[in-house]
Amino acid sequence: MKVGFICAMDCEMTELLELFQDVTVTNIGSVDYHAGMLFDHEMVICCSGVGKVCAGIAAAILCSHFSVDLVINIGVSGGVKPLNCRDIVFSTGAVQHDFNTAPFDPPMHVCVVNKLVIPVSENDARTLAKIAEEMYPERSRTGLVLTGDQFVHGGKADELLRLIDETEWGPEKPMAIEMEGGAVAQACHMFKTRCVVIRYVSDVLGDSNQVSSFEEIKNDHTGELIPVLRTFFSNIQ
């Protein structure tokens, strides 16, 4: 299996990249793609930059140029209560909360793929979540990630929480609020490539300390994800 990793910030990529062996670097569209071996699999990792456009471009390049079989998007996010900081969310679907073509479609409905919830590889997500639950009891979560091109806090958090409450969701509920996962999921869906979005909760929507909590936690989460990924890939051919 060949796997592509997308991180939005260097602090989300550095610890994982340090484990790569036999690395070669290809620069495409001003982004360095580091290809090498990790956990006995071919891997490619990049720091796409923050936001949906950067993430979507990176996902498309991983799918088309590098022909990966699975894309994993890792990073930090805001959490929706009752989640706590340092909980880990494994996506069972992705929603673009800032996508709105009303009155032609319902809010958040992505007309290009004709979906509210963009599918991801749910089997992979649940396998990863089970591994994480064994390592970090009561901190592993599965659910939807909501993506938009904004750091949601203050009044924006109140607006989004109202939208979440007013929307009829299926069995999977919104868990993480972030800025890339929905774009990665859409690109992978269009390329028919498996995709998982993993988010480490750095702050909780509506809390008064959202910004300071994000600054405190954003740099120290990847180390907890590495054992989960190592175990996951050790069981895959």
Active-site residues: which are they? 12, 203
* Amino acid at residue number 84: N
Give one DSSP letter per residue of 43-106, joined into a string: EEEEE--SSHHHHHHHHHHHHHTS--SEEEEEEEEEE-TT--TT-EEEEEEEEETT---TTSS-
Cβ neighbours around 192 below 10 Å, total: 7
> Is the CB of residue 96 less than 8 Å from the CB of residue 113?
no
Buried b (16+ CB within 10 A) or exposed e, 13-51: bebbbeebeeeeeeeeeebebbbbebbeebbbbbbbbbb
Strand runs labelled E in the chain:
2-7, 21-28, 31-38, 41-47, 70-79, 88-96, 140-147, 174-178, 194-204
Pair type for strands 21-28 and 31-38: antiparallel
